[in-house]
A and B are shown apart, each in its own frame.
Chain A
């Protein structure tokens, strides 16, 4: 081979390498979204991520690369959830996963997320077991983060505060029934809640767990009534909250209720059931209130784009995109190990509050001195409007009893 041939070959190799590098530089950053596409939690996850992607792309993207979203339906079934993760990490080769809703599904997905060495930012599932694995086996599970919601153990703590300060403190009710669906996150939450509520001086008269498929709540209501409870604390996510509220209203059940009711977070929940949830006090993770400078602008933009009010997964999903983008910018790469180190340093002012992660990569809750995410109790009122009742510092109206309960 003469000198000219060698030079030509070297030039070709160099040109090839440059071209490959250029392609890598311009290749979009792929965000995989495993979620329950049929549910509003899933639709809101997608819309909120799209909003963040559009905003970041309009500003030039991340490290000069555009962001793109690939969605896979994980339904509420663990097997389908695993297939969704395999599709996103194996076929689509996404850089990060943002999504989730059902704790049982997320727990089943975790070994596959770990095997794919892909960062996962959870925005829907609440079981503490999800992030507990990070501490137990950091090397394998360091990829898992939870941006929202607060885990069910923390929710139990905040529900206990609600019982102590509002139900007992303000309404003067101490006889309480706990009513929850048979699901992993509820099984995690109920013992903590019972312990905390009892310590706060509440008298837990009855604990009713029911199957998520239950469609007739008459026997359950009869048992609650028989127990002498004066307040029903509900923990519902996958169950038919609509049917629960309808039957509570139709029977003019003489016990008010409130608590965690995920479907009651939907903006159209009350109208959807013909106004029968009026009086229910449901937990929200954010409302259209100035929780942070981002809350109201996000809320209004979301409503403008989708013509519906966002549910909790939207807050976490939107924040998760920015949190990931900022971590990549700081790490100057999408390499998972480098980005994880930056994610661990997150201090991001998000929609429900400031987002920071603890040692298990779980979002830190708000305290008296730290404005992290916290539970907000809003009551359905006439014309299906919502008013914030608790915490007292955010109260927009006084609590009212349903019309058939005289106090």
Chain B
């Protein structure tokens, strides 16, 4: 029971980091970013590359990787997405193309083998008789802190208010002198940085290989559909539900069945409540 509680919390935390960024950029810029999983992959590969090729200490390597991925996010938004933002279909296609290009670039650069991202904490902890790797606990803690900081940033700062204003009505916000385009870039950078941080934190105990972008985007999609597209509280709640549902299925039935949970949740939500739990309107 305690095992389910701990491992479910770790899965939920990683999912929440992925889904919050994904829903943030949709909520503010109405961009369904299929390249979001690539930010996660690039974060993990960046940490691997800087530590193994330049022998950098892990923390600077991780921060550098997250920073570069945030810049890449800005590039994707400014150069590729912005000219096509009026067409949702075009945005979907261009972000999917980015994801595929990143995957192939990783294949060509690093090959298909799994790569090792070193962990920040290598020791094992025993909580109530349950053995848990230290890196998993760190991922859980950092995830809670980062999402908390993001919440404070949006609710308590001037820039956060501007983001909220743009998310409610971009046109009215620009009449009030808020530069919407700059806000979109900032939000994309935040979203990419969160995904990259998830990659750096989960990389040491999960898969690091070129196709690793696909599963996170499926999960993020499922979570934001269940939670309601554009709703951060909805995403956090849905991430918790999905993380725990998968862990319970893994422990009580079989690990082979865990992947079907997110797909089934998405399907059921689209049929019975297309707007999701916290969504104001159906996104599709």
Contacts and interface: CB of A to CB of B under 8 A. Distances in A.
Interface of A: 38-40, 182, 208-211, 213-220, 222-223, 240, 242-243, 246-247, 250-253, 263, 266, 272-274
B110 to A, nearest CB: 11
A219 B247 contact: yes
B185 interface: no
Interface of B: 3, 7, 11, 107, 111-116, 118-119, 122, 124, 131-136, 204-207, 209, 215, 247, 250-251, 254-256, 258-259
A274 B255 contact: no
Contacts of A243: 114, 205-207
A234 B247 CA distance: 22
A216 B124 contact: no
14 contacts: A209-B254, A215-B215, A216-B206, A219-B251, A223-B251, A243-B205, A246-B205, A247-B205, A250-B119, A250-B124, A250-B133, A263-B114, A272-B114, A273-B116
Contact of A222 (B116, B136, B205, B251): B251
Given A214-B255, A216-B250, A251-B124, A222 B3 contact: yes
Contacts of B255: 208, 210-211, 214, 216-217, 219-220
B75 to A, nearest CB: 27
Contacts of B133: 247, 250-251
Contacts of A210: 254-256
A263 B258 CA distance: 24
B112 A38 contact: yes
A213 to B, nearest CB: 7
Contacts, number: 88
Contacts of B122: 250
A111 B160 CA distance: 63
Contacts of B132: 251
B131 A253 contact: yes
Contacts of A253: 131
Contact of A240 (B11, B114, B119): B114
B84 to A, nearest CB: 32
A211 B7 contact: no
A250 B113 contact: no
A213 B112 CA distance: 14
B190 to A, nearest CB: 26
B131 to A, nearest CB: 5
A243 B136 CA distance: 14
A252 B123 CA distance: 9
A246 B7 contact: no
Contacts of A240: 114, 207, 209
Given A214-B255, A217-B255, A251-B133, 10 more contacts: A211-B259, A215-B206, A215-B215, A222-B3, A240-B114, A240-B209, A243-B206, A246-B205, A247-B133, A250-B133
A247 B3 CA distance: 15
- Name, among A213, A219, A253, the residue most crowded by chain B CB atoms within 10 Å (CB to CB): A219
A217 B256 CA distance: 11
Nearest to B7: A218
B135 A219 contact: no
Contact of B256 (A38, A211, A263, A272): A211
Contacts of B254: 208-210
A250 B205 CA distance: 8
Contacts of A273: 114, 116
Given A219-B250, A250-B135, A274-B116, A182 B256 contact: yes
A405 to B, nearest CB: 13
A239 to B, nearest CB: 10
Contact of B116 (A208, A211, A216, A242): A242
Nearest to A249: B133
A253 B256 CA distance: 21
A213 B247 CA distance: 15
A298 to B, nearest CB: 23
A221 to B, nearest CB: 9
A38 B107 contact: yes
A208 B136 CA distance: 23
- List 10 A-B pairs, minimum CB-CB distance, nearest first: A250-B133, A219-B250, A242-B114, A38-B112, A219-B251, A210-B255, A252-B124, A215-B207, A251-B131, A211-B256
A272 B131 CA distance: 24
A246 B254 CA distance: 20
B10 to A, nearest CB: 9
A220 B256 CA distance: 10
A220 B131 CA distance: 14
Nearest to A273: B116
Contact of B7 (A39, A215, A216): A216
Contacts of A274: 116, 118
A274 B136 CA distance: 17
A108 B66 CA distance: 43
Contacts of B131: 251-253
Nearest to B202: A215
B157 to A, nearest CB: 36
A319 to B, nearest CB: 25
Contacts of A182: 256
